[in-house]
């Protein structure tokens, strides 16, 4: 049940980000164009499941978009409007939200399919089936 709630919450975040892009007159398609960019963090899996989980999790959480948004807002306060920072934060948060809505959670070091939202992908069938 908690997993379902988290997936619904993240779907709502993704929709809100899409609507915010439209409402603020920003290129909404940028959310889609930049989507796979953040999956480059999975390259860490070439070094093994532990390194892969660390690199993937470093990018696939909301801390990065939050810090990028905070930097953007701090720069506005001192008179610098660096719009690309807000677009980066929006694209990044959108990616995390869509991934979580689809069930791709933070990874454990047992492998890519073990996440905080449960296992992803096809599960091996029991011999008893």
Q: What is the pLDDT of residues 2-41, one digit of tens each?
A: 889 999 999 999 999 999 999 999 999 999 999 999 999 9
Q: Are 41 and 55 in contact (CB under 8 A)?
A: yes
48 located within any domain = yes
83 located within any domain = yes
31 located within any domain = yes
28 located within any domain = yes
pLDDT on residue 12: 98
Domain count, the chain: 1
d(CA 88, CA 34): 9
123 located within any domain = no
pLDDT in tens, 84-127: 999 999 999 999 999 999 988 788 777 676 667 666 666 555 54
37 located within any domain = yes
Range of the domain at 31: 2-116
Considering only CA atoms, give the Rg of the chain.
17
44 located within any domain = yes
128 located within any domain = no
């Amino acid at each position: 049940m908690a997993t379902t709630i988290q997936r619904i919450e993240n779907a709502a975040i993704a929709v809100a980000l899409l609507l915010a892009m439209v409402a603020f007159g920003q290129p909404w398609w940028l959310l889609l164009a930049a989507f796979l960019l953040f999956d480059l963090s999975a390259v860490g899996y070439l070094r093994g499941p532990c390194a892969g989980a660390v690199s993937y999790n470093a990018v696939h959480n909301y801390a990065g978009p939050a810090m990028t948004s905070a930097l953007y807002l701090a720069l506005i306060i001192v008179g610098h409007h660096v719009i690309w920072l807000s677009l980066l934060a929006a694209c990044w948060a959108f990616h995390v939200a869509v991934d979580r809505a689809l069930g791709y959670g933070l990874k454990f070091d047992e492998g890519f399919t073990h996440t905080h939202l449960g296992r992803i992908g096809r599960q091996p069938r029991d011999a008893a089936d």
